[in-house]
Chain A
Amino acid sequence: GNSVTQMEGPVTLSEEAFLTINCTYTATGYPSLFWYVQYPGEGLQLLLKATKADDKGSNKGFEATYRKETTSFHLEKGSVQVSDSAVYFCALSVTGGFKTIFGAGTRLFVKA
């Protein structure tokens, strides 16, 4: 079936630290991959996405590369800010499928 596994949180970092949140997937069809972010008290919003292998999605200093060989889509940011504190969701949807499958979410805390 289709599934997304992301690292458990919470992840706690100091400001300006390097961030990696791991995400791996299984898919029966050809997947498109997403990262969504949920700030406190808000709904989810798209952070970045990639629709084919080796594509890199990027936004607001965050990046993720679609790696078909390792079935991964890890989220990275070189220098986090306090304002990046949020819950991050990895997600996928596949060709011919109706659903978007979300991971369990990883909470990030960034300390000043």
Chain B
Amino acid sequence: DTAVSQTPKYLVTQMGNDKSIKCEQNLGHDTMYWYKQDSKKFLKIMFSYNNKELIINETVPNRFSPKSPDKAHLNLHINSLELGDSAVYFCASSQAQGYGNTIYFGEGSWLTVV
């Protein structure tokens, strides 16, 4: 069983479109995240939820909107896609936030905006 699963794995879309990435974790964790990884492998946190409550909201354009219907799911919706949004987006989860907690990552969603 995949611990953190996200769909779709690959997404190619045109500028201006709206797209969503879904994520589910079956680890029973309280905390979920969205990370963005650029072509140089630099990893940046975008959002963090703890028990469906938004905890971390980094400087991310308003076009990105996370939604957590329950603590096992965290979806990411992106409006009006731009070329610069092309990246790999990772969903992740951990038992709790911060000190000592291991983060479990999904396999990534490779977004290409053309």
Interface residues on B, range: 20 to 34
Residue A75 interfacial (CB < 8 Å): no
Question: In the complex, which of the residues B41, B42, B98 contacts A98, with contact meaning CB atoms closer than 8 Å?
Answer: B98
Instruction: Spot the interface stretch: A15-23, A66-74, A76-84, A101-109.
Output: A101-109
A98 touches B100 (CB 8 A): no
Least CB distance, A77 to chain B, in whole angstroms: 20
Residue A51 interfacial (CB < 8 Å): yes
Instruction: Find residues 31-70 in chain B having any chain A CB closer than 8 Å to their own CB.
Output: 40-43, 45, 48, 55-56
Task: Encode contact with B along A85-107: 1 for CB under 8 Å, 0 otherwise.
Answer: 00101000111111110101101
Question: In the complex, which of the residues A34, A36, A42 contacts B107, with contact meaning CB atoms closer than 8 Å?
Answer: A42
Seen from chain B, the residues whose Cβ lies within 8 Å of a Cβ on chain A are: 4, 40-43, 45, 48, 55-56, 90, 92, 97-108
Q: A38-B41, A93-B98 are in contact. Are A43 and B107 (CB under 8 A)?
A: yes
Identify 8 residue pairs between A and B in the complex whose beta-carbon atoms are under 8 Å apart, listed by A's number. Answer: A31-B99, A43-B4, A43-B108, A44-B90, A45-B105, A49-B100, A95-B98, A100-B98
Residues of B within 8 A of A38 (CB): 41
Instruction: Tell me what chain B mostly uses at the interface: helix, strand, loop, or mixed.
Output: loop
Seen from chain A, the residues whose Cβ lies within 8 Å of a Cβ on chain B are: 29-32, 34, 36, 38, 41-46, 49, 51, 87, 89, 93-100, 102, 104-105, 107
> Complex Cα distance A56/B106, Å?
27
A107 touches B99 (CB 8 A): no
Least CB distance, B36 to chain A, in whole angstroms: 12
B103 touches A98 (CB 8 A): no
A99 touches B45 (CB 8 A): yes
A95 touches B90 (CB 8 A): no
Least CB distance, A86 to chain B, in whole angstroms: 10
